[in-house]
Amino acid sequence: MIVLDEQLLGRDLEELISAWYRGNVCFITDLRPDTIIKDDAIPMLLRQQSQPTFVTINERDFWRKVEIDNNFCVICFTFPDRRAREISSSLRAILKHPDFNTKTKRMAKVLRVTDNSVAYYSLENREILEIAL
């Protein structure tokens, strides 16, 4: 399951991702409809799902700040709003990478995606590792 941050609403990302991703694609607001979801509530909502990958462009509020858990992954894109539609193709490349190509390999990790690299840390290893895209 890929869960998109509410900041990504209205950009057709769910449709772009659904075209190549076989699992469910939804927004964080779908997990608790008709309520305001603060950033600090997101880990709790993700824990209630089956190994979701949360995707956001709110890198400032999640990278090195989110409460990481064995049951979910967070992918923070550094792209500005105007480049949000690029997330689909970039996400696809990340999910094909040998370090992240299965749910098991992604769980308990927080990734920070730039134009040409992915930095990440995990629950087990807080040291930031970086790979080129």
Q: What is the pLDDT along the chain (133 residues), one digit of tens a residue?
A: 999 999 999 999 999 999 999 999 999 999 999 998 999 999 999 999 999 999 999 999 999 999 889 999 999 999 999 999 999 999 999 999 999 999 999 999 999 999 999 999 999 999 999 999 8
Quick one: pLDDT at residue 67?
85
| Residue ranges covered by each domain of the chain | 2-132
Quick one: pLDDT at residue 6?
94
Strand segments, DSSP code E, in the chain are: 2-4, 25-27, 53-56, 73-77, 109-113, 117-122, 129-132
Quick one: pLDDT at residue 46?
97
Q: Is there a contact between 13 and 4 (Cβ–Cβ < 8 Å)?
A: yes
- Please report which helix (H) or strand (E) contains residue 46, including its range: helix 42-47
* pTM for this prediction: 0.96
Quick one: pLDDT at residue 133?
80
